[in-house]
Amino acid sequence: MKKENISKKILYWYDNNKRILPWRKTTSKKNKNYYTLVSEFMLQQTQVKTVIPYFENFIKKIPNLKKLSNVNDEQLMKCWQGLGYYSRARNLKKTAKKIFSNFKGNLPNNLKDLKTLPGIGDYTARAIMAIAFNMPVIPLDGNVERVLKRVFYLKKESEISKDNLNKKKSFFGVSKRSGDYVQAIMEIGALVCKPVSPSCSECPLSRNCISFKKNDFQIKSKNKFNKVKYFEARIYNNKDKYLLIINNEFNFLRNLLIFPMKEVKKDKFKSSIDHKVNIKMSNMDMKIILNKNNKRNKIKGGFMLDKNNINKIILPSFTKKIFETVSKHQ
């Protein structure tokens, strides 16, 4: 089948089945660029349905790039609170500032310049180029990968490599509606070509799909192993007040409030008789000893937070989970 026919089929399906998402609203070019930038940052490692209310609130409070570049950190984090991966929010503000200092307030429209902006890698840069600037590029996200793996029935490790999948993208061809086309392919992966129980009867690509013909929809995934790290969190409390510090030591949750903690060896974790908690980060499994036997004078800096005020300040979910565990085992 000709590639132009494939693009027509995909766009026809998209026009009749796409989700109504707030960042897809028809708006001015400048607003579209801003909406695309904010949504792509939020969608990094977070599902669409989770992002929607946060995006709407964020745009309401910080409606344009200029305000984002000047927003104070407290307000920024308040708008982001609950979405997690707070480094995205800090990078988003840094990106806004750099757009004004280096690009005269205009979001760059090319791969090289976009990738100089904090928090923007190859995928996000290509998504911005396609969606905001209607350029004929197709970013490779999990949804696009899944569609390609099924269409071509890719099962071997060599077949599912990034290099090979990028080559296979030529299957889609191009469209004059590049922004819509990219979102259409992603939408097929999200709504039709789902990881489990794909809806093949609704798929515009079923006739082209080898997996459909073989009736085999298992997806070959690369083996991913999270790093396992061990920590000791020092819990100091006095009359329902707990000591927290600003994290300047670890790369995760940098500049956010955490309990004082340090990395320890696996042997110490295993031998400890203190209560323990497991917390999953994006690429790390954290195993944490909750040590309640520390004296305040051994811990520099920080401030005491009343447990009744936990929801009144900006805390990462990581810290809240430790709070919950500590409260249960007092």
**Among 40, 145, 187, 232, which one carries the catalytic annotation?**
40
Given 3-state DSSP classes, what are the helix, strand and coil percentages for the chain, each rounded to the nearest 5? 50, 10, 40
Helix ranges restricted to H, 81-232: 87-103, 111-114, 122-133, 142-151, 162-168, 178-191, 210-214
Per the annotation, the verdict on 202 as an active-site residue is no
Helix ranges restricted to H, the chain: 3-17, 29-42, 48-61, 65-70, 73-80, 87-103, 111-114, 122-133, 142-151, 162-168, 178-191, 210-214, 266-271, 317-328
Which among 85, 77, 73, 27 is positioned nearest to 57, based on CA atoms? Answer: 77
List the strands of the sheet with 275-280, edge to edge: 261-264, 227-234, 284-291, 275-280
Would you name the residues annotated as active-site residues?
Answer: 40
